[in-house]
Structure 1
Amino acid sequence: MHDFIITEKYAIFHENQITIDPAGFMTGGAPAASNASKVPRLGLMPRDSSSGDVRWFNLPGCNFFHFVNAWEEGPDAVTIVAPNTFPPEHALECMHLSHSSIEIMRLDLKTGAVSRKPLSAMNLEFGIINRCFGARKNRFVYVSIGGLMPKSTGVVKLDLEREGKGECVVAQRVYEEGWFGSEAAFVAKSESESEDDGYVVAFLHEEATGEAGFVVMDAASSDLEIVASVTLPQRVPYGFHGCFLTEEQLRSQRSISSCWMLLGDI
């Protein structure tokens, strides 16, 4: 398991076809491998319960490494948005040979049925949203365009309300030639009035010259317009995950010493 996600009632885990082999790694082999005979599955665990209450849903041909969002639709359905990466054997060592398709999936908790729909034909990974909409229904998703993964050549904006109406990409920003990024982050405006009222930010690197930069894109614009850019003294390596925190949010965090005190009481 590489990632998991929550709704208001459930914690959701994905078991894909990648298996970890510590012994093989210690003897010079690969640390992970693909098991084609293994059936991928999703596990739903009530957040107020124990691991013994996990309910599993088989998902043949579905390998998630990162989730985007999930929410409940009434008492009997759960919706999940995530990129499905295939073939799984290229997901780690030959990522440039893999393709990730953003899918929306619905689990019927009454019947156990699963329905899946692709939201775009593009190679997309590292999806982000306005975090204020985490664990509840959202409309917009911002996803990195896959190039020679984990390098990204740009960002697209998906509108989930276009599901079933064809391509869900409604805005796109392709970086200048020679510039690459990785996972972006969404920064909501301090007094945002709508879900996409904010900015998409990303670290970029120009491989030929070694230049590095940080760009700020208008998340609500029709072309994810770059409204600000900053030159950096050194690059941020591809593949780094992160999130944006305001100064106020940083100040509200518990100190390291208080966290250790809490652990000591467990």
Structure 2
Amino acid sequence: MSLLAEQRRDVIVEQVRARGAVRVSELAEHLGVSDMTVRRDLDVLARRRLVDKVHGGATAVGEHSTEEPGFTAKITRELEEKDAIAAAAAGLVEPGAAVGLSAGTTTWRLAHRLAAIPRLTVVTNSLAVADVLHAQGAESRGTTVILTGGVRTPSEALVGPVAVAALESLNLDLVFLGVHGMTAAAGFTTPNMTERDTNRALVDAGQKLVVVADHTKWGTVGISTIAELGEADVLVTDEGLAEADRAVLEGEVDRLIVAQPGHPGAGTTGGST
């Protein structure tokens, strides 16, 4: 499958989500391709759970761009994949580093790994991340945890002007960003516009950006873009991501790491260096 095919599928997903339901003939006319090509695209998107394929077209499935699942609702989703991503991402952190962690269940899993690395300075807007580091005894290994203030969201993030102000004066070695969704057109996105501002401030505070996102995030679009795909120095995902989607990401990010569930710390890498 070519890059053009993936761009076309992004358009189809966006059309379906915007309108709720779209006919094959309408998509074919809009994209300038045959009905058969559209049907094949819908088959691929349906397998990825991005649309529901129905007779003559497709309907929307899943969450809308402004819907924000709660932390407890997401905590058991793709758990094996998130653990593998966390193991691979932790391998990028050296003792003594200053790191930032956004809120999210993948960064929460990463916090369990970072607790074992000594002398870190961890800046986070996540109550759950801070709790894990404390519970795992990170302070006894010389780690300092800095929790931003702010208003609490359903995803257990602290956001708003207080959080942004706390981040604006910081200089971090690495920032680990969890995202709601990612596409070639929209980049890395969130369903919460206020959280976007806080995450953007966190991204700007880091010398290096590492995005941690499992394969289900591909094709999902939140209402607000945090960063373009090309801003990521590293993207850590799992082997559930389709080869064609990997090709798109390898063309955008500096380095793609594909972690393998069931093999902690293992993974394959691709992309430019």
TM-score calculated relative to the size of structure 2: 0.24
Flag the structure with higher strand content: 1
More helix by share: 2
Say which structure, 1 or 2, has more relative contact order (CA 8 Å, 6+ apart): 2
Normalised TM-score (structure 1): 0.24
